[in-house]
Structure 1
């Protein structure tokens, strides 16, 4: 009988305005979004001395921007240096702004059940690039960027979709730190310029 389970589903005393919260959020979005930046000036883009290297964040969900789905940063790799090596579940696209270099990519076999399991494949592939090129990093690929020029910096713009994190798939692992990584350093235009000088 359809009503036979009444004794079970009718239990519970807690009330929450969850649907009303959705309505309120939708109603307040235009005013809230009007206060969020559609233009981000260079002095509003935070630097980070990260394990992946020297980053200048262009768009990030922690910044007050109108962008809802994408994070982007500029990575500056000093002459003859390299980025950190990492792996993440989301695919990534990088635009080579300045310089030339190469990537090393190592695909992984992945299994997602109640737990997440990945295993690197044996083959490591090299991809050479120069200014104006676009680099595609497939999902769950171990990768690292190398500046092939001993005299000039390599600048990359990295773009990644942040939606995968909201789906519970924020799998990010740092495998090797960038040579410049030092958490005690605070980046500024002056300290970044010092990193870009040929030693």
Structure 2
């Protein structure tokens, strides 16, 4: 079982599994070309690709969108983020999926209105990834010089490979976790979803 392998082997397995999703590989390559500060492709497109491969489904099955996070604290205006979003639209033209580009330095400006709880300002893209509703979701990948994959996985990879969804009650409310896990269970009934504490 991949989730029980040493971490180096899990990282190799992660790259091998994610590489089977052609859309994801294309998004990673085009994201790298944008040159955004502190960027990662993150969230569902990563762990759901793993779930698909582990359960014998097509790699892109059930993936709603591909999230591209970056961090630019120098200009927190909507106009600056919108310029990057429009650049992203051009960069991802022809990719058969929706790619959502977001500046994580701005999240605290709109989070409370959308989710009903305040969000302190993040200091990095990694800090934003740390606050996802489930630890299993806390995963980011980017391509660096020479095609090297940089993987950010603060909670490791075992739960991802073992189809375990574990709550991460640091920011998102319980309702967000329960809504997401209900949607995921519909696509991947093999998941073990742990209860909110």
Q: Pick the TM interval, shorter chain.
A: under 0.3
Normalization by structure 2: what TM-score?
A: 0.23
Greater relative contact order (Cα 8 A, min sep 6): structure 1 or 2? 1
Normalization by structure 1: what TM-score?
A: 0.23
Q: Please say which structure displays the higher CA radius of gyration.
A: 1
Name the structure where strand makes up a greater proportion of residues.
Answer: 1
Name the structure where helix makes up a greater proportion of residues.
Answer: 2
